[in-house]
A and B are shown apart, each in its own frame.
Chain A
Amino acid sequence: MYALKMSGVSFVYEGAEGHALDDISVSIDEGEFVTVLGANGAGKTTLAMLSNGLIPHAIKGTLEGSVKVFGYDISKHTVAQLSTLVGMVFQEPESQLFCMSVEEEVAFGPENLAIPRDELFKRVEWALDLVGLKGLNERSPATLSGGQKQRLAIAAALAMRPKMLVLDEPAYALDPVGRIELYALLRSLTEKHGMAVLLMDRDSENILEFSDKVVLMNSGRILTVAPPSEILRDIRNFRAIRVPPPQIFEIASLLNSRLTGVDFSFTTLDEAEAELLSRVPSLPRRGDTR
C-alpha cells in the first residue's frame, strides 16, 4: 500500500490567484524517506499540509484531484482521524510547542485520542527515548535549544504512533551540526521503525546520504521524482528548481565541462577523493612554467 498517493492534485488558496499546486501526482511507499526539494514558493508547505488533511479541512481553498494516505481519502476524514496515520512537524519550533512541560507536550496528542493512562506513559517514554530527550520530562519546552525543540515536536508527533512523518523545513533555523543530527534521527525512524518520512527541504547537500527518493518541485509543479543517485546525474535538475546542487556533485559537473578528456561521476566526498587522486595526476599538465 502507498503511504501517500496524490493523483492530479491542484490547489488554489482562498483569495489567491495562482495555483499553489498544479496537477501534482506522486506516491510514497511505506517506510520510504522522501525529500521534496524546491525554492520558496515551490509549493512544499501546501504539499505538506495536504498530506494530513489540514488542507482542505483547516485551510480553505479549491482542491482538485485525490489525496490518499494509507488508502484513506483525506477529504473524507478529519485531521484528528488522520493524525494517527500522519504526524506533522512545522517549520517554526516555538509556536508548535504549547504545553508547559516536555512530557505534557508528548502526551497531548494521545490524550486527545483517549489512550489509557498506562499506555500514555509508555508512549511518552518511547517517543522521548527515540528522539534523545529522555529524562527531560519536566522541562519547559521554552527552555530547550532549537534542535531540542524540533526533536520534541517530532516526539509529540511520534506519540500518536503515525506511520508517516511529514516535516516542513524543520532544520531551517538549526546550525549545521544540529541539521545533520536531525536528518540522522529521521533516517533512523525509517530504518528502525519502518516509518515513511516526507521531508520538505531546500538544502540538497545531504539528499544522497539520507533519502530514498527525491521530488523536485518548482512553482507548484513536480518536475522529477527519482532516487537521489539519478537526480545527481544531471546538474540541470537543480537549476530547474533554483536549489543549489550538493557541492561535490557540482564540482564533478564543472570539471567535466572545463577539462578535456574527463568524465567524473563522483557524488560523495570519498568517491571524489578516489576518482580525483587516480585520474588527475595522469591528465596532461598545462604549462609548468609558472
Chain B
Amino acid sequence: MKGVFDLYTARDTFLHRLDPRVKILAVLFLSLLGFIMTNLIPLFTLLCFIILLLYLTRSTFSKAYFALKFVLRLMVLITVLWPLFDQSGTPVLAALGPIKITEPAIWRGLTSAIRIGCLATVWYILMFTTTQRDLVRALVKMGLRYDFGLALAISLRFIPTFGFTIESIKDAQRARGLEFDKGSIIRRSKNYIAVLIPAVVYALRTAETLSLSLQSRAYGARKDRTYMREIRMRSSDLVSLVIVVLLFAIPAVAKFVFGAAI
C-alpha cells in the first residue's frame, strides 16, 4: 500500500541532497519551459534532460515503472488520437471518408505528447528524491501556513494506515460472502457501501483521538513555534538555484525578447 503513495527512494545522490525548495523551484521552472516551448526539437531536448535527471535519481525500477507507465500510455494515446481530430494543413497523407490524416497534424500530435510527457514526468524528479516530510517542511518554509503544512503531513502519514484499514474492511466483508467484482456496475458500486461506511466511521474515530492527542501536546500553544530540523540553503544549493534560474531564463529571454523559435 505504502509504495503506491510514497514514491521516495532513499539514496545518496546530488538530487537527494539538494534543498527541497530548490527542487520545487526547479520543477516549477522546467514545467514553465514545457509550456512556453512550442517546437518539437526544443521540447524533445527538454524531455531528454528530464529523463536524464530522473535517471540520476537512482530510483528503483519498479517505482519508476509504476510512475511512468501512465505517462507513457498518455503520450501514445495523444500521438495516435491527435491527427484524427486535427485535420488542418497539407499534405494529406491518408484519407478515409470524412477522416483525413495530415502531416502537420502528426507533428503537432507528437509535440503535444512530448509536452505532456515533460509536464507529467518532471514532478517525479521531486517525488523520487524528496521525503514527504521534507516536502512539507519546504512548503512551510516557502510561506505555507504551518497549520496547512501539518494538515498535509498528517494526511500523507495516514494514507497508508487508511489503506490498510480499507483492506482489512474489504477482507472482513469478503469473509461474509461479499464478492466485489461480481454483478453489474450498479451492484458493484453498491458493494462498496459496505466498505465506505466502516471506513468513514474509522476515519471519524481516528480524527477524534488525533485531535485530543494534538491538544495534549500543546498544538497551537504559541505563535513562535520552533523547529528541530530546519532546511538550510548551503552554497551548493545556491549554485544549483542559479543554474536552475539560468536554465529557465535563457530560453525564455530568447523566445520573448529575441523571438527565437523554440
Rounded to whole angstroms, the CA-CA distance of A41 and B206 in the bound complex is 20
> Does A47 make an interface contact (CB < 8 A)?
no
Instruction: State which residues 196-213 of B face A: CB under 8 Å.
Output: 205-206, 209-213
Chain B nearest CB, measured from A168 CB (Å): 10
Instruction: State which residues 89-134 of A face B: CB under 8 Å.
Output: 90, 92, 94-96, 98-101, 103-104, 107-117, 120-121, 124
Rounded to whole angstroms, the CA-CA distance of A58 and B213 in the bound complex is 11
Residue among B205, B211, B225 having the largest count of chain A Cβ atoms under 10 Å = B225
Q: Which of A84, A94, A114, A141 contacts B224 (CB 8 A)?
A: A114
> Does A225 make an interface contact (CB < 8 A)?
no
Q: What sequence of 0s and 1s flags, for each residue 117-160 of chain A, a beta carbon within 8 Å of any chain B beta carbon?
A: 10011001000000000000000111000000000000011001
Question: Are A121 and B218 touching (Cβ within 8 A)?
Answer: no
Q: In the complex, which residue of chain B has the Cβ closest to the Cβ of A121?
A: B228
Question: Are A109 and B225 touching (Cβ within 8 A)?
Answer: no
Chain A nearest CB, measured from B130 CB (Å): 12
Question: Are A111 and B153 touching (Cβ within 8 A)?
Answer: no
> Does B3 make an interface contact (CB < 8 A)?
no
Q: Which of A78, A88, A115 contacts B226 (CB 8 A)?
A: A115
Q: Which of B209, B220, B228, B230 contacts A80 (CB 8 A)?
A: B220
Question: Are B222 and A112 touching (Cβ within 8 A)?
Answer: yes
Given A95-B210, A99-B153, A100-B131 in contact, is the A117-B227 Cβ separation under 8 Å?
yes
Question: Are A95 and B228 touching (Cβ within 8 A)?
Answer: no
Q: Which of A58, A101, A112, A142 contacts B225 (CB 8 A)?
A: A112
Question: Are B133 and A101 touching (Cβ within 8 A)?
Answer: yes
Segment at the interface with A among B20-28, B64-72, B157-165: B157-165
Q: Residues of B within 8 Å of A, CB-based: how many?
A: 35
> Does B156 make an interface contact (CB < 8 A)?
yes
Instruction: State which residues 55-98 of A face B: CB under 8 Å.
Output: 57-59, 78-81, 83-84, 87-88, 90, 92, 94-96, 98
Question: Are B212 and A98 touching (Cβ within 8 A)?
Answer: no
Rounded to whole angstroms, the CA-CA distance of A34 and B251 in the bound complex is 71
Question: Are B222 and A95 touching (Cβ within 8 A)?
Answer: no
> Does A49 make an interface contact (CB < 8 A)?
yes
Q: Which of A78, A98, A103, A117 contacts B213 (CB 8 A)?
A: A98
Question: Are B153 and A58 touching (Cβ within 8 A)?
Answer: no
Size class of the contact patch on chain A? 35 or more
Q: In the complex, which residue of chain A has the Cβ closest to the Cβ of B136?
A: A100
Question: Are A58 and B230 touching (Cβ within 8 A)?
Answer: no
Q: What sequence of 0s and 1s flags, for each residue 224-240 of chain B, a beta carbon within 8 Å of any chain A beta carbon?
A: 11111110000000000
Question: Are B217 and A112 touching (Cβ within 8 A)?
Answer: yes
Q: What sequence of 0s and 1s flags, for each residue 190-220 of chain A, a beta carbon within 8 Å of any chain B beta carbon?
A: 0000000000000000000000000000000
Question: Are B215 and A58 touching (Cβ within 8 A)?
Answer: yes
Residue among B136, B154, B229 having the largest count of chain A Cβ atoms under 10 Å = B229
Chain A nearest CB, measured from B33 CB (Å): 31
Question: Are A142 and B161 touching (Cβ within 8 A)?
Answer: yes
Question: Are A142 and B160 touching (Cβ within 8 A)?
Answer: yes
Rounded to whole angstroms, the CA-CA distance of A59 and B221 in the bound complex is 18
Rounded to whole angstroms, the CA-CA distance of A121 and B161 in the bound complex is 28
> Does A267 make an interface contact (CB < 8 A)?
no
> Does B38 make an interface contact (CB < 8 A)?
no
Q: List B contacts of A98 (CB < 8 A).
A: 153-154, 157-158, 210, 213-214
Chain A nearest CB, measured from B207 CB (Å): 8
Q: What sequence of 0s and 1s flags, for each residue 159-189 of chain B, a beta carbon within 8 Å of any chain A beta carbon?
A: 0110000000000000000000000000000
Rounded to whole angstroms, the CA-CA distance of A11 and B105 in the bound complex is 75
Question: Are A113 and B228 touching (Cβ within 8 A)?
Answer: no
Question: Are B157 and A79 touching (Cβ within 8 A)?
Answer: no
Instruction: State which residues 15-43 of A face B: CB under 8 Å.
Output: none
11 pairs of residues in contact across A and B, judged by CB atoms under 8 Å: A80-B215, A83-B218, A94-B206, A99-B157, A112-B218, A112-B219, A116-B226, A117-B230, A120-B226, A142-B157, A156-B217
List 7 tightest A-B contacts by C-beta distance, closest first: A80-B221, A109-B217, A96-B213, A95-B209, A80-B218, A107-B228, A88-B216
